[in-house]
Amino acid sequence: MRYSSFILPIRFLTHNIRYATTAPFKGEEPWPVRAPRLVSELRFNTHSNPEAFICMQEVLHNQLVNVLTGLNAESTNCTTPETQATYPSQDWTYIGVGRDDGKRAGEYSPILYRSSVWQLTDSKTIWLSETPDRPSKGWDAGSIRILTVGRFCHQITKKHVLVLNTHLDNAGTVARLKSAELITSFVKKYLRKLGPKDEIPVFLTGDFNSETDQEAYKYFTSNQSVLYDTRDKVPPEKRYGNNYTYTGFKDPEKDAPPARIDFVFAGPLDNAVLPPDTVQSYGVLANVFDDGVFISDHRAVVVDVYI
C-alpha cells in the first residue's frame, strides 16, 4: 500500500500562554489557576487529530512540565518530564530550550508533538541575533529571542514537514525585521539543501508582535518570502472565532489595544508540495469564558491543513 499518496490532515495550534509571572497584572490570575484551563484547551483542540502540533510561546520550564504532564495524564501514570531524560511511555513530547542559556533558563518557544505519530529527524535552536548559534540578544531587541526548528517524519505515510516556532521581540522594530529576514533566509537555505525533488511543506507559527501593517508581517508576506498567511487562504465566512489574537487582561493602563499578532504561515509558495487547497480551516479561540478567568493575554490560533 502506498501511504505516501494519502492525504494527511495536520492541525497547528499556536498560543502565547503568558509566562508564570510572580507579579500578575490586574485581571490576571496566577499560573496555577490558569494552567488547568490551558491544558483543557490544548487537549480538547488536539484530541481528534493525532497529527497535531502544539506551538507555544513565553513558556517557562515549570510551565512546560505542567502542560506535558497534563496532556499525558490520561494515557500514563509514569513520572513527569522533570525527572525523565526521555519519554518512552509518554505520548506528547517536545523540542525546544530556554532562550537564556540554551537549556532551561528563560522562556521556551517549544513545539509539542506525539512521538507515536511523528519521528523527529532534525532539530535546532536559532537565536534571533547577529550570533544565531548561541544565546544572544539581537539588534534593538529588549529580550533574547529564539526560533525552534524541527523536521518531522510521519510514522505511517513517511511524509515530512518542517515546523518552526518563534516569538519576535515586542520592543525592537529593527529586531523584528531582521528576525524575519533571518528566518526567511534559513527556510530558503534549508529548502535549497533538500533540492526540488525532496522539498517539503514548511509551517511557521508564533507570536510575531507585528500587526499586518508592520515590518515583520509585511516581510513574511512579501515577494522576498516563501511563505503566506494561512488565514488568507480561508474565506472570511468560513473562519471561526475572533479576529484579534491579543487582548491583554483588560487593564487599559497596562495592556495595549487588541491586535492580530499571532500567525501560522505556510509555504513554499507556488509549489506542488502545498497546493491551493492545502489550508482547510482557520480559527481564533476564546481565552476567557463564564468564570472570567483569562487563560492568557493571547488567544490561540488553530489552522487545519492537508498535505
- pLDDT tens digits, one per residue of 30-79: 999 999 999 999 999 999 999 999 999 999 999 999 999 999 996 544 44
User: What is the pLDDT confidence band of residue 252, given thresholds at 50, 70 and 90?
Assistant: low
**Domain encompassing residue 86:** 3-306
Residues 245 and 260 sit within 8 Å (Cβ to Cβ):
yes
CA 83 to chain CA mean position, Å: 25
Residue 87: CB atoms within 10 A of its CB come to 18
CATH classification at residue 205: 3.60.10.10
pLDDT of residue 1: 39
SS3 of 188, please? helix
Domains identified in the chain, total number: 1
pLDDT of residue 270: 64
28 burial via Cβ count (<10 Å: 0-12, 13-18, 19+): buried
For residue 287, pLDDT over 70 is answered with: yes
For residue 256, pLDDT over 90 is answered with: no
pLDDT of residue 226: 95
Q: What is the mean pLDDT of residues 208-227?
A: 97
First to last CA, the chain: 18
Quick: pLDDT tens for 111-128.
999 999 999 999 999 999
Read off φ and ψ for residue 65, nearest 5 degrees: -60, -45
Distance from C-alpha of 98 to C-alpha of 96, rounded to nearest angstrom: 7
User: What is the pLDDT confidence band of residue 273, given thresholds at 50, 70 and 90?
Assistant: confident
pLDDT of residue 251: 64
Distance from C-alpha of 77 to C-alpha of 71, rounded to nearest angstrom: 12
Residue 295: closest CA among 62, 29, 78, 109 = 29
Across the chain, what does the average pLDDT equal? 92
Q: What is the mean pLDDT of residues 253-278?
A: 82
pTM (predicted TM-score): 0.93
User: What is the pLDDT confidence band of residue 28, given thresholds at 50, 70 and 90?
Assistant: very high
pLDDT of residue 160: 97
Strands (E) across 103-221 are located at 111-114, 118-127, 146-154, 160-167, 202-207
- Which range is least confidently modeled, 52-56, 78-82, 94-98? 78-82
Residue 18: closest CA among 213, 137, 170 = 170
Residues linked to residue 72 through DSSP beta bridges, in sequence order: none
Q: What is the mean pLDDT of residues 232-242?
A: 97
pLDDT of residue 81: 47
pLDDT of residue 269: 79
- Which range is least confidently modeled, 107-111, 275-279, 295-299? 275-279
User: What is the pLDDT confidence band of residue 80, given thresholds at 50, 70 and 90?
Assistant: very low
User: What is the pLDDT confidence band of residue 197, given thresholds at 50, 70 and 90?
Assistant: confident
Q: What is the mean pLDDT of residues 99-121?
A: 98
